[in-house]
Structure 1
C-alpha cells in the first residue's frame, strides 16, 4: 500500500474540513496550511520558476476551495491537492515556453568584451530559496530533497514533455504508486508507466544526478570560505584554484556565459574583479550560495549584484550560476544596500 493512500484522517483535519465545507475560509486556510510548501515545491519542479509556482499554487488553492465538496476522501487530502496542482501545472506548461538555462539559449562566449542585452520575460530557469522548501527532519528525506531540487535536476526536468515530467516527479520524487499516478493524471497505468520509462531514459542520458559523492561538510565549508576570500579580495589565482577544468559561469538574464577554467578565469579577471564586492551566505535549490553585493564607481555603498549558487564535486566548484534579476535578489531577501 502506498504511503499516500487515504488513512483515518487526523481529527483536527476532519474538523477543519467540515468547517471549510460550510464556507469557513479561515478553516480552509488551516486545512491546507501543512501542504502549502510541499505543493509550491512540486509546482516549482514542474515549472522551473518560483514565481510561476506562486501562480500555480494560488490557482490550486482556489480550485481546491471551489471543489472541496467533491473531495470524497478516497485518497489523502495531500494527494487530492497534489493532483489538482499537477493538472494546473500541465495546463501552464502547454501554454508557455519551457524555462531554459544559458546553455539552452546560446553557445558559451570566448570574449568578455560584449555580454549582450538582458533577455527579459519568462525565459530563464530561476532558483528557489531553501527557506521556501518544506521542513523535514528525516535525514533520508532531506537527502532526497537536495537531489531532487538541485538546479541541474530541475533544469533537466524542463526538457521533458509535461506528462513525462509529472509522472517522473509523482513516482520517483513524491513516491506515488503507478495506479495513484494514473488516477491523478486521468490516464491509464500503462500510459503512466510508459511515460515514466521514457522520462528515465532521457534523464539518465543527459544528467549525472545521483552519481556524485556526498560533499564533506567540513571540506565544503573550507571551500566556501576560500571562495568568499578570493572573490572579495579579487584574487584571481586563488579563485582559479577552486575551479574544475570544465567549470561554467552563467548569469541570466544576460545571455552570456563561459565554459572552462580558462574562460571563467578570463571573465573574473577582465569583468567581475573590476569592482569591489561583498558576499553573504545563502542557500537555494539545496545548494550553497551567496548574495553578492557590488560597489560601483562613485558609490560609497554596496548594492545587489546578484544571487550566486554553486555546484560542487570532489572538492572543487563545477558551476557558478548567478542570477542578476532584481526580483530574484528580492526573493532571496537581499537588502537594498550594505556598507
Structure 2
C-alpha cells in the first residue's frame, strides 16, 4: 500500500489541528508508521484508504493535543499596545502559531490554512476542531466523520454547529483574495517597494484604518495606521534603508521575506511577513522572526547584492 500520495493533505490537516508546521510533519510521520504497521488489518470494504488514514491521523492529533495549550497570535492574548517604543521582548514560553509554507506541499484548499482561521480553530476543543475540518474543509460525510471519531452522526452534527458558531466572526474564506489575485498581488508589490525604500508614508497609505501589525514571538501588537507607521519608523531607524524582499505565499496568503541591509553590502534575513489584503489595502501583517519558521520556508539566511540586483 502506498500512503505517500496522501502526505501533503495530511500535513495540511494536522497543521490545521495543531497550528505548527513542524509538529504537523511529525504527526503525519507517526500516522504513516501506524498505518504501515496496521496495513494487514485494513478492511477496504469498510473505508477507503484515504478515510482510514484520516482516522489514524485524527487519533494521532487528538492524543498530541491532550492537555496542550492553544497556539495563539499576539492579538489573541490581549489589547493592542499604544506604545510604538515598547521593548520588543520575546515570550519564548508561549507556543506561537506558525504559518504554513505553501511551496512545500501541493494542497488544494489553501484559504482554510490562513492564519486568522487557524488561530480561531485553536480556540475550539480538539474534537470539535476535528469535526469542523473533516466536514467543512475536507468534505467527509457526517457518517464518515462519526466513524473516524468513534461517535454518532448526531454528535458530529451538533459539534459542527457549535464550531461554526464559535468561528463565525472570522469570516468566509472565500472572501479573502488568493495570492494570485491580481489586485492583492499588486498591493503587496507596492508594499514591498515602499518597504525596500523605508518609505513609511507610502506604507501607511496602503493600510486599512484598523490595520493590525503583530510580531510573534513578541507578545505586543498594534492596531491602526498611526501606531503601525510609528513602529515602522522605529524599525527603519534601527536597521536603516535599502532593504530587499522576496515574495512568496503562506497558507494561501501573500507573504514577503524581508532582508535587512548588511555592512558588507548584502542582506540578512530579518522577518517573514504574512499579509491579509482586503479592499486593495493591507488589513493585517503578521511578522515572524522564528528561525524555525525561516527553516520551514527554506529561506536563505543571506542574499548578496548581486542576487538582489538580479530581481526577486
Give the secondary structure class of the aligned counterpart of 1:118: coil
1:250 to 214, 236, 257: 214
Using the TM superposition, give the Cα deviation of residue 133 of structure 1 relative to its aligned residue in structure 2, in angstroms. 3.4
Q: What is the root-mean-square deviation of aligned Cα atoms in Å? A: 1.7
Q: What SS does the aligned partner of 1:256 have?
A: strand
| 2:11 matched residue in structure 1 | 40
**Distance in 2 of aligned mates of 1:61 and 1:210:** 30
Choose from 15, 19, 36 the match for 1:65: 36
Contact 2:255 2:274 in 1 (8 A): yes
The one-character-per-residue Cα deviations of 1:96-131 (angstroms, maximum 9, x if unpaired) are 211111112232211122234212256111001111
Q: Answer with 1 or 2: which has the greater Rg.
A: 1
Is the contact between residue 112 and residue 271 of structure 1 (CA under 8 Å) also seen in structure 2? Answer: no
Q: Which residue of 2 aligns with 1:301?
A: 266
> Are the counterparts in 1 of residues 15 and 24 from structure 2 also a CA contact under 8 Å?
yes
Q: Deviations over 1:243-301 (max 9, x none)?
A: 000101111111121111111011111224542321111111001111111135x5543
Contact persistence 1:83–1:184 (CA under 8 A): yes
- Matched position secondary structure for 2:3: helix
Task: Quote the residue 2:155 is aligned against.
Answer: 191
Deviations 1:157-185 (A, max 9, x none): 11110111000111111111111100100
Aligned mates of 2:99, 2:87 — CA distance in 1: 21
Residue 143 (structure 2) aligns with: 179
Q: CA deviation at 1:95?
A: 3.2
Determine the structure 1 residue equivalent to 2:309.
none
Conserved? CA contact 1:213–1:314, under 8 Å: no
| Cα pair distance change 1:190/1:314, threshold 3 Å | same
Of residues 223, 248, 254 in structure 2, which corresponds to 1:288? Answer: 254
**Count of residues in correspondence between the two structures:** 300
Which runs of 4 or more aligned residues in structure 1 lie more than 4 Å from their structure 2 counterparts after TM superposition?
213-216
Counterpart residue number, 1:231 = 195
- Stretches of structure 1 that go unaligned for 5 or more consecutive residues are 1-16, 18-30, 136-141
Q: Please identify, of 112-121 and 246-255, the stretch whose mean Cα deviation from structure 2 is larger.
A: 112-121
| Equivalent pair of 2:111/2:176 in contact (CA under 8 Å) | no
Q: 1:334 — aligned with what?
A: 299
Q: Secondary structure at the match of 2:303?
A: coil
Structure 2 CA distance for aligned equivalents of residues 288 and 123 of structure 1:
24
**TM-score, with length taken from structure 2:** 0.91
**Contact 1:178–1:189 at 8 Å: present in 2 too?**
yes
Partner of 2:21: 50
In 1, distance between residues paired with 2:36 and 2:87?
A: 47
In 2, the alpha carbon distance for the partners of 1:245 and 1:195 equals 36
Q: The residue matched to 1:309 in structure 2 has which SS?
A: strand
Q: Which shows bigger deviation, 101-110 or 259-268?
A: 101-110
Structure 2 counterpart of 1:126: 98
Higher relative CO (Cα under 8 Å, sequence separation at least 6) belongs to 2
